[in-house]
Amino acid sequence: MPKVEYVLYGKKFETERETTILKVSLQAGVPHTCVCGGNARCSTCRVIIVEGLEFCTPRNAKEQALAERLHFDSRIRLACQTKITGDVKLRRLALDDEDVELVNQLKWGGTPGSVGEEKKIAIMFTDIRKFTAFVEPLPPYDVIHVLNRYFHQMGQIVHRHGGYIDNYMGDGLLALFGVENSAEATLRAVAAGIEMLEAMDRLNFYIETLYEKRLQISIGIHYGEVIIGALGFFTEKRETVVGDAVNLASRIEAANKELGTSLLISQDVYDQVKNQVQVRQRIQMRVRGKSGKCTVYEVIGMNA
C-alpha cells in the first residue's frame, strides 16, 4: 500500500491507491486546511511534493486551471485533487491562520502572482553616477523630469530587447531578461546595455543644453539562478526576484565606479556572448561577501 510521509509532522501513513492527499490527512488525523471544502476553489490545501511526484496522478482540469492562475511549480499540488499511487513525501504549506491568509490568494483582488519558482535569467543593474550632486541645485520638478526622461528612454530599450524593468531604485533600475523567453537572454541583455550607453550620449546633449552638465551611467550584467515570486502585502504584491545572482549583478554594476568602466559583465555572461561582443579588458575583482576573486569583462560594443 502507498505511504504518505508528512515533513514537520514526522509520521507516515498507509492508504489505498487513488486516495486524495486531503483524504489521507483527514483519515490520519493530520490537521489540513481546506477552506473551500475540497472543491479546488481555493489554494489553502496546497502541499509541496518533496519526493514521489511521479506517484501523484496528473492534474485534473480543475487543479490545472487553478495552478495556471497561481503559477504553481509542478511540485505544488492541491491536496483535495491529487491522488497517490505510490510512496510520497510532502509538506503542507498552510500550517496556521496566517499561512491560510497568505496562500488563499483567490479571495484578494487583482491577478495572483507567482508563488515562487527557480529560473536562470540575465540580470541587469544600472545606476546614474553622482546623481545626488547633479540634482542638489535643481528644483524638484527638474529632478523628476530628468529621471522620467531617462527612465522612459531606457525602458524603451529594455523592452525592445525582450526584457522588462523589475524595479526602480532612486536613479537606478533592475531589468530582467529571460523570464518569459529564455532564448539568447544574455545576448539581448548585453545588446540592451550597449544601446543604453549610446542613448545616454544622446540624452546628454539635451541635459547639457538645460543644465550645462553631463550624466554617466554604470551597467552590470550577470546570468544566474534566481527565485521569482510575488512579494508584498496582499493586493500590493508584485513579482520580483531574489537570490545571490541578483546581489552579484548589483555588485558588478557598482564596480564600474572603482574600475572607471561603464559596462561590466560576469564570466557567466561572457561565456555565452564572447563571440558576439567586443571586450576591452578582463578584470579580476573582489566581491564583498564572496571568497576569492570574480572575473568580469568590460564590454565596449557588439561585433558587426
Cβ distance 100 to 60 under 8 Å?
A: no
Task: For residues 59 and 72, give the distance between their C-alpha atoms in angstroms, rounded to a whole number.
Answer: 12
Mean pLDDT (whole number) for 44-67: 92
What is the percent of the chain where pLDDT is above 90? Answer: 54
pLDDT (0 to 100) of residue 287: 75
- Establish whether domains 3-107 and 117-302 are of one fold: no
- Please report how many Cα atoms fall inside a 13 Å half-sphere around the Cα of residue 62, on the Cβ side: 11
Delimit the domains of the chain by residue range.
3-107, 117-302
Gap between the Cα atoms of 91 and 93, Å rounded: 6
Question: Which residue has better confidence, 98 or 218?
Answer: 218
| Whether residue 213 has pLDDT greater than 90 | no
CA distance 181 to 130: 34
Core vs surface per residue 229-264: b (16+ CB within 10 A) or e: bbeeeeeebebbbebebbbbbbbbbbbbeeeebbbb
Q: How many CA atoms lie within 13 A of 303 on its CB side?
A: 8
- Mean pLDDT, residues 57-71: 89
- Mean pLDDT for the stretch of residues 276-296: 85
Cβ pair 114, 231 in contact under 8 A: no
Helices (H), the chain: 21-28, 61-70, 97-103, 131-135, 140-160, 185-211, 244-259, 267-273
* Stronger pLDDT, 80 or 94, i.e. the higher one: 80
When pLDDT is cut at 50, 70 and 90, the band that residue 106 belongs to is: very low
In the block, which residue shows the cell 480543475?
Answer: 62
Architecture of the domain whose range is 3-107: Roll (3.10)
Asked whether the predicted pLDDT for residue 113 surpasses 70, the reply is no
At 136 the three-state DSSP class reads coil
Give buried/exposed letters for 82-100 (b at 16+ CB in 10 A, else e).
Answer: bbbeeebbbebbbeeeeeb
Smallest CA-to-CA distance from 165 within 152, 176, 157 is with 176
Return the number of other C-beta atoms located less than 10 Å from residue 46's C-beta: 24
The pLDDT score that the predictor gives to residue 289 is 66
Q: What band does 111 get if pLDDT is binned at 50, 70 and 90?
A: very low
pLDDT of residue 209: 86
Could you tell me the pLDDT band of residue 238, with boundaries at 50, 70 and 90? low
pLDDT of residue 235: 58
CB 92 within 8 A of CB 47: yes
Residue 171 has pLDDT above 80, yes or no: yes
User: pLDDT band at residue 85, thresholds of 50, 70 and 90?
Assistant: very high
Instruction: Tell me the average pLDDT across 166-182.
Output: 90
Among 54-58, 166-170, 197-201, the minimum mean pLDDT is found in 166-170
Architecture in CATH for domain 117-302: 2-Layer Sandwich (3.30)
Q: What is the DSSP letter of 279?
A: E
pLDDT tens digit sequence for 9-47: 778 899 999 999 999 999 988 888 888 888 888 888 889
pLDDT of residue 206: 87
Q: What is the mean pLDDT of the chain?
A: 87
Euclidean distance between CA atoms 231 and 239, whole angstroms: 6
18: left (phi over 0), alpha (psi -120 to 50) or beta: left
